[in-house]
Structure 1
């Protein structure tokens, strides 16, 4: 039985998942854990005779996490469609990510660096691995005219929820006495990791309870479902030749995603290492960024309604390019605050627009939802490309950082990804989903 489209409870439940998992994206990957990691790990060390800086090691952790999930995602998403397990896998990755996040509480220095690294990797794999299944629900629960606004609502709810939790974490860091915590030591920071894990798990399970249940395919073992999954992916790849606009968009998306995601992951370490920001100052910077991002997501949706998705994406990418160039020359904290505000303006917008633009150019026939039964496989292409882009961006960033000892050149090089994205975007137009060009 098909789930009704545009059901209010379902749409709100879907957006609530952004509220749940965005706390990890904000607190763990952006605001608190990166500078904490930089402080707890020696500035330079060797592993198996290979020299690393703490920031290059952190970048490589991101690279490894996304390489793993990029390799697994096509197989898992194919199984999800062939075996009717979209929701099952979303729950699996969510649980794994939440537990990985909770384990970060026990990371307290170089002696436990491997525990901190492993917990971060598991959390990141859980976070990123669930997104392909989460995104694939969009065309299953809503009609196309709702895509832009619903996508923006999800990102906005994510920013609002994560900001609320980050405010609690800021209070714990700045005024630990309010919570009966000691002024000295790392307990008040490590407790923030616990709050994120619990927040993620509790709200995600509420969201999952409101999403359509899986329609299981009986009689198929894991091996046969995997084979069916790969066949689904091959079918989508063959369909790509019939839908050139989807291919053109994905090429542009690959390029600029390498820049967007790398900046988001490594900006706080850059601020602490190059500009001397303290943890409390970084939390304030990220709070400003998040508040601006709420408006930025809706601004992007308004721009797309006014002039179309392509124009709105160009607008976002021009600002991203300027951010990378200005970050190379930034000399003080005040300047960095303005750069962080600009990142907030375009961070949610470019991700929201990308998700909804892709949903518009994947195929849909006159049968409507029947053509959407393989949306997980279609979104797997989108998701895998984003993850490979992150692998490329963070690897280049970490390599240049380890080679030069400075993160500024790494930031500047990221601007090339945005320029390439605009070049490839010039050949793309938003065709009707059923249109064959």
Structure 2
């Protein structure tokens, strides 16, 4: 036996897999850092500060006072009159639709490239650079904020396509749920920590010798800097992995990527269980996103809580979701990710039903509801990512995760539309929040129709011990 053979085999010729497993564990820890990095942008910028600040800046341009609660005056965007108070909602809708069109092409390109981590980091740094321009949105100059948010949100989605695809390279089928859950938990922790810092700076701006608007602008800048800085860790520590099962196509890389995407779309009917899960995810994820969006409106307008209580609830949900993601990871290890996701949809049904009858100004019950949201929020999202990875044919991770993100983004407006319509027809937010149960019912319906083991085998992957 040669020296090399002795280094790779133990007694009886059994290979020593310890170095391989240790290397994979290091890769997984490096991968988790990108959840930590990008979550700051999604929490501080997109979820909390950008929308209200854009409404204020655009409101000035429209002629509204800074003290006006809702500015219904308009500014012209490409010649179209848009109410200043609803500009961020329209902007989000346009960005998500464009993302749904762009991401599948990005995914096909990533699948053919041996440098997924480079794609992930490049999109992240370009997105962070775009997001940093929000610092210069002041006075009545809303245009730079619109451009900044549009490009940064699309680039964030592009980076996630490559990031999700790397999950398959660094973990076995049995490890996916735990790895994804740790990453999602890490993201909630990182995003929550920066959000705490930024909300303290915004609420106590006088203590720091700055006005509130400067505090908001610095917070937006900090989220971009956090995103860019912490992306360095996975970029340096992650390896690049060679593409697998690449479809032969003619032409340059860009041309071949289009060809592979067309081939994949034609082959989708061969994976009925994968398509069934995408339908389920489309519905229950839209319900989740709408509950999160509507929670602050419901808490303030229907339940009568002031801004300080809502801020505390947002922060509490962030940190509870950290534990929730880890809890669901352990749940999946025992019962499987498929069952855990399905159970999660039933919990969401209970949450929206309970929210409908939640007493006004009852703080303990309101916070208890927030805890329930936090527990199931991180878990269902983390396991959805890992379970879907099992339904993807090898070598097509980028494209299929692009379709996954496109399904999420392309319909993320539907839940808010239902919420708004029910409120408009009923005049109350209680039936509006309960109406969201239909999204979880439909999600559960398609999940029940799904055979997880058959779907994993259809994709050519090994079925984990528990699914």
Which TM-score band (shorter chain)?
0.7 to 0.9
CA 1:211–1:266 in 2, change beyond 3 Å: closer, same or farther?
A: farther
Counterpart among 145, 167, 170 of residue 199 in structure 2 = 170
Alignment of 1:71-220 (within 5 A): 71-108=101-138, 111-176=140-205, 180-182=208-210, 184-213=211-240
Q: Give 1:64 shift.
A: 1.2
1:315 is aligned to: 343
Give, in whole Å, the separation in 2 of the partners of 1:378 and 1:354.
13
Task: For 2:302 and 2:405, locate their aligned partners in 1 and report how far apart those are by CA, in whole Å.
Answer: 32
SS in structure 2 at match of 1:144: coil
Summarize the Cα distance change of 1:154–1:420 in structure 2 as closer, same or farther, 3 Å threshold: same
Q: Does the aligned pair in 1 maintain the 2:243–2:395 contact within 8 Å?
A: no
CA distance in 2, matches of 1:325, 1:120: 34
Against the structure 1 CA distance between its residues 401 and 23, is the aligned structure 2 distance closer, same or farther, given a 3 Å change threshold?
Answer: farther
- Contact 1:303–1:312 at 8 Å: present in 2 too? yes
Correspondence for 1:19 among 36, 40, 58: 36
Structure 2 match to 1:383: 405
C-alpha distance in structure 2 between counterparts of 1:108 and 1:402, whole Å: 33
Distance 2:309 2:53 in 1: 13
Tell me how far 1:216 sits from its aligned partner. 9.2
Whether the aligned pair in 2 keeps the contact of 1:62 and 1:394 (CA below 8 Å) is no
Structure 2 unaligned regions, length at least 5:
1-18, 60-69, 460-467
In structure 2, what is the Cα distance between the partners aligned to 1:401 and 1:119? 32
In structure 2, distance between residues paired with 1:418 and 1:280:
30
**Map 1:30-41 → 2, pairs under 5 A:** 30-37=47-54, 41=59
Quick one: structure 1 residues 421 and 394, their matched pair in 2 at CA, closer, same or farther if it must change by over 3 Å?
A: same
**Shift of the alpha carbon at 1:430?**
1.6
The superposition leaves residues 242-283 of structure 1 with CA deviations (integer Å, 9 ceiling, x where unpaired) of 332212211111111221223334544554565666554433
1:356-367 equivalent positions in 2, closer than 5 A: 356-363=386-393
How big is the shift at 1:131? Answer: 1.2
Match of 1:67 among 97, 113, 127: 97
Counterpart in the other structure of 1:249: 277
Instruction: Give 3-state SS (helix, strand or coil) of 1:431's partner.
Output: helix
CA distance in 1, matches of 2:159, 2:262: 22
Q: CA deviation at 1:296?
A: 1.0
- Per-residue CA deviations over 1:109-139 (Å, capped at 9, x if unaligned) read 6x23333333222232222221111100011
Distance (whole Å) between structure 1 residues aligned to residue 225 and residue 169 of structure 2: 28
Answer 1 or 2: higher relative contact order, Cα 8 Å, separation at least 6: 1
Evaluate the alpha carbon distance shift between residue 329 and residue 302 of structure 1 in structure 2; reply closer, same or farther with a 3 A threshold: same
Task: Report the TM-score, using the length of structure 1 for normalisation.
Answer: 0.84
CA–CA separation in structure 1 for the residues paired with 2:227 and 2:424: 33
Count residues in correspondence: 421
Match of residue 263 from structure 1 = 291
Pairwise CA distance, 1:297: 0.8
The runs of 5 or more residues in structure 1 that have no matched partner are: 364-371
Q: Say which one has the larger Rg.
A: 2
Conserved 8 A contact 1:139-1:375? yes
Give the conservation status (yes or no) of the 8 Å contact 1:258–1:390: yes
**Larger mean Cα displacement after TM superposition, 306-315 or 391-400:** 391-400
- The 8 Å contact of residues 59 and 395 in structure 1, kept in 2 or not, is answered as no
SS at match of 2:451: coil
Of the structure 1 ranges 221-230 and 294-303, higher mean CA displacement relative to structure 2 is found in 221-230
What CA distance in whole angstroms lies between the structure 1 residues aligned with 2:146 and 2:251? 32
- What is the CA-CA distance between 1:35 and the residue it aligns to? 4.3
TM-score, normalization by structure 2: 0.79
2:359 is aligned with 1:337: no
Q: Secondary structure in 1 aligned to 2:73?
A: strand
Q: Is the 8 A contact 1:93 1:127 kept in 2?
A: yes
